[in-house]
Structure 1
């Protein structure tokens, strides 16, 4: 299984990029975040014409998640059952015996804001739910935009980010708590180039200067670790016209 995650930052805008990327890379599954589309406007017909099925949970202007797959998704779940929320941030499905969980973790805005407390509460709920989910589905992959850079090596300039969201200790502790459930960061299972990032601000020529963060992740359960043969970041989409500020992360699981 080739499985990928990508925050498209508007599927309406990035649909041509998405279709081209699917055609070239032929993943078995692609998890999207920030689709920013109501379900009635989701481009299901276009994806089906490209040979893919999809399940999705969206809203106008903000958030939105989707799982695009070559096989029909089974046992689909929308949202966190232990965290009632109008924001569309979670969708899960089973593909070929593997539980695929697509998440768009809240950004948090700033550490002194209510949105930061919401983010931490949301992450706690995710962790608590996954405890049981991993029992039900030992083969599980948690993909998405986590809005967390787990370590300083995932930040272009750690000192410049001190005191900001995405890098704060409580957020990083929440990431470690997910790992302590028995999930492994697939990117770090392999030797990787230094200064590998998945997001760059649109401003200050950040991509050209590689002023980025690694905040998009694919975590795999212990049962899948021996079968994970590669994980990489595809920077090519950031070079296109009107790109998302994120790029795909891709893992191969045999």
Structure 2
């Protein structure tokens, strides 16, 4: 039987984190510029808006309890008297966690919390520091949780970063979100992966055409979007394309006039 109070929280934290997302073009760690090659999507690809907030998670557990966390740490467990107030994550997501039904396994809802005072981009979504929004972008359904929870943290981390988490595919995610009453990050287009541009300049043009402004603005604000996330429908391949990365790279490619 699962008992949240008997499980090492370090294991649960690592097991339910969102993995790192690589950039669509290779990011040069020396200068932050983008270079070849581009990520290959053998099948179809779905583009969604990358919302500039804070990565958050609601973790539903087999014993009927839940956890709320940021990207890096767990902030609250059901029944706690005091929760970590970081970025307003617990305050905003606890009502959602309370109404989501637990199942037999571990299910993790990954959401982007934005607006309010969440980072420097909050003003792109709202002019009211008390106004928050959240969008679901992925769900993990871990039915066979017993073995992973017996592993040491380094093994869990390696498994997670290698794509070991069982993702809910797109055709199941859409009705799951609807049933839970959660809005997804905006879907921009669905096309063959072979149609994605291989060149940096062409991907920047596609970004600009796909998302001239954010689609999730609050109280009438429609500011600058951060970028897009590209996913295979089954989540076997995932990459991100951010405006600032492409703009930084293209500025370096411009030859100064003499």
Q: TM-score, normalised by structure 2?
A: 0.28
- The higher radius of gyration belongs to 2
